[in-house]
Chains A and B, each alone.
Chain A
Amino acid sequence: MTKVFVSHNNIISSLGFTTKDVVEKVSDEVSGIQLIDNPSLFNQKFYSSLVDKSILNQKFKALQPDSEYTLLEQMMISSLQSSVLASGIEIDNRVGLIISTTKGNVDALDQNNTFPKERAYLSELGKAVASFFNFKNDAIIVSNACVSGVLALAIAKRYISQGTYDHVFVVGGDLVTPFILSGFNSFQALSDTICQPYDANRKGINIGEVAVSALVTKNEGNLSEDAVEILGEASCNDANHISGPSRTGEGLFRSMQSAFRQAKIQPNSIDYISAHGTATSYNDEMEAIAFNRMQLQDVPMNSLKGYFGHTLGASGLLETVIGMNALKNNMLYTSLGFNELGVSKPINVIEKPQKTELTTFLKTASGFGGCNTAIILKKLKKND
């Protein structure tokens, strides 16, 4: 069985443009979410975590692009550039590219957008990113709602195990757009405060934006300091409802069971859970039920949505990279926004930063369409 690792990575977000900067902010319990008053995005004030576009612009210009790129492409390319450079990997035909996104350049559909409407095709996004780096293979685009980011890592591993590629660069990203805000608002899912995952007073989600990239590789040489091995992964459907989670957490429970089976470890080997925690009433409750069914209720867990909001197709990748750094730093990071347990089953939500020896973590995600994923990751290097 081929060992597969998640290695060199980058995060572009409201909390900074490198993984190191972002992790420091998370460690200091700094949220990137602010009250935004921007009528061109939404007709009312809303809480969100937005990338600083002037810094992005500077950073992207330094790459000397020779054509026009959309905002999302600029974010993805800037992030990927860092990971590609850090990896030292030469892009040849053994290197794959996976893009994880829910809506891509959907803002191109807006009549006032300067890009042609064809840019909204996800394959155009794939071509733009792949051609910038001269990838020899076409981009594989994963669009599987809010589990896309975690699923993309699992898919990268599967293609490496099949021998399709030796290395895969995964990049995830979604923008905060009128399209997304109006849609989630029509579901009455947006919180009018900073989101509070698992809390008794939670009112719903904040939408945020990031671009995140990571190398997935079978090569044990030149791994990053925060590299982890993928021990197991799985994705299972609830077979219950297209826009609401299963009341019994069935799909998430089965995803975890299957991931543990592949990892050949027991739930008591998990030191930390990076959960989905959108801060909607139903999602958080469903997760608490599923973690209890898996007997993981005592394991320290957090949701990182209180730092970044829900970053959709990138969220799972973002939270995996933060989790990798939790292991590297042997630190449990606070689940921001949590004060009082607001789910019907006991769970061990992290209330303050805590130094403790960490080796293995579980990352989960759930999304529209009834999809769920779980991935189990183990660190390679001991750091103090």
Chain B
Amino acid sequence: MTSKHHILSYCKIRNNTITLNEGVVFHEEDNSDFPTFIKSAYHHLETAYPKFFKMDDLSKLAFLATDILLKNEQLDEQNDNNIAVVFSNRASSLETDRAHQKTIQNSENYYPSPAIFVYTLPNICIGEISIKHKLYSENSFFIFDNFNADHLFDYANSLLEDRKADKVLCGWVEFDANHYDAFIYLVDKNGSIEHTPQTILKLYNT
């Protein structure tokens, strides 16, 4: 069976390395922590978006992966791009949830802040992406125990077949206690890679 849709491009951020399709676009040799690594990557890739520094780590991860992938697609951002965003992970926004919990745990030292609290929702990273790339499109954030290619596949197909979107940006963006992993891919009518659960899983695992 040939697939109706294709994967146009994909981007991964893991192990201090950023890859776009087959090629490495940024790599940091030393074992720097996530904040240092992502900041170096931001500068190296000439991201030039100061709001980036207000984001929590999950949003930074998802934002940068998306920015790299969509820049490469050379979208005309003066016009509407109907690209749906469908992200998933295991830990939701738990790392920022812990940060907010810390601000309210002790009544003697109570300092909840809207700047932290707003990021205690996983879909905020999709909001950040939508603002940057002017995406007035369908978005949803799913939580799964593990990367779930089957569900992302079904859901992307549904959005494309119902003409809710022209393209769908899917993926896994996980940030949990210093472990991070981003794998995003753009589904379109055309492209060189068949859109099937098997190919999605293969791209995720390699």
List the interface of chain A (C-beta within 8 A of B): 43, 102-104, 106, 109-111, 120-123, 126-127, 138, 140-145, 151, 155, 158-159, 161-162, 164, 178-179, 182-187, 234-243, 250-251, 254, 258, 262, 368-371
Q: Is the CB of B112 within 8 A of A182?
A: yes
Complex interface: chain A residues within 8 A of B135 (CB): 237, 239
Total contacting residues, chain B, CB less than 8 A: 50
Q: Quick check: B123 and A145 within 8 Å, CB to CB?
A: yes
CA distance A43 to B123 in the complex (A): 29
Majority secondary structure of chain A interface residues (helix, strand, loop or mixed) = mixed
- Using a CB-CB cutoff of 8 Å, which residues 113-156 of chain B contact chain A? 113-114, 117-118, 120-124, 126-128, 130-131, 133-145, 151, 154-155
**25 residue pairs bridging A and B, Cβ less than 8 Å apart:** A109-B98, A121-B92, A122-B143, A138-B145, A142-B142, A158-B159, A158-B162, A162-B154, A178-B104, A179-B104, A182-B100, A186-B112, A186-B114, A187-B114, A235-B139, A235-B140, A236-B136, A238-B136, A239-B135, A254-B136, A368-B124, A370-B127, A371-B123, A371-B126, A371-B139
Contact (Cβ within 8 A) B136 A251: yes
Q: Is the CB of B164 within 8 A of A140?
A: no
Is B104 touching A239 in the complex (CB atoms < 8 A)? no
Known: A106-B97, A159-B158, A161-B162. A234 touches B138 (CB 8 A): yes
CB of B9 within 8 Å of the partner chain: no
> Smallest CB–CB gap between A165 and chain B, Å?
10
A183 and B117 contact, CB distance less than 8 A: yes
Q: Are B155 and A110 in contact (CB under 8 A)?
A: no
Which B residues touch A102, using CB under 8 A?
Answer: 121
CA–CA, A162 and B154, complex, Å: 7
> Is A369 a contact of B124 with CB atoms below 8 Å?
yes
Q: Do A237 and B127 have beta carbons less than 8 Å apart?
A: yes
Cβ of B131 and Cβ of A241 under 8 Å apart?
yes
A162 touches B158 (CB 8 A): yes
Report whether A43 and B97 are in contact in the complex, using a CB–CB cutoff of 8 Å: no
- B143:A141 contact, CB within 8 angstroms: yes
Residue of A nearest to B151 (CB): A140
**Interchain CA distance A143-B97 in the complex, whole Å:** 14
B74 touches A (CB below 8 Å): no
Asked whether B100 lies within 8 Å of A183 as measured between CB atoms, the reply is yes
CB closest chain-A residue, reference B104: A182
> Are the C-beta atoms of A144 and B140 separated by less than 8 Å?
yes
Considering the chains assembled together, what is the distance between the CA atoms of A271 and B172 in angstroms? 41
Contact between A120 and B121, CB atoms less than 8 A apart: no
In the complex, how many angstroms separate the beta carbon of A39 from the nearest chain B beta carbon? 9
Q: Does B70 contact A (CB under 8 A)?
A: no
- B21 interface contact, C-beta 8 A: no
> Known interface pairs A111-B105, A123-B90, A145-B123. Does A243 touch B142 (Cβ–Cβ under 8 Å)?
no
B94 at interface by CB-CB < 8 Å:
yes
Chain B residue, CB-CB nearest to A243: B118
- Which B residues lie within 8 Å of A184 (CB)? 117
Roughly how many angstroms separate A106 CA and B95 CA in the complex, as a whole number?
A: 12
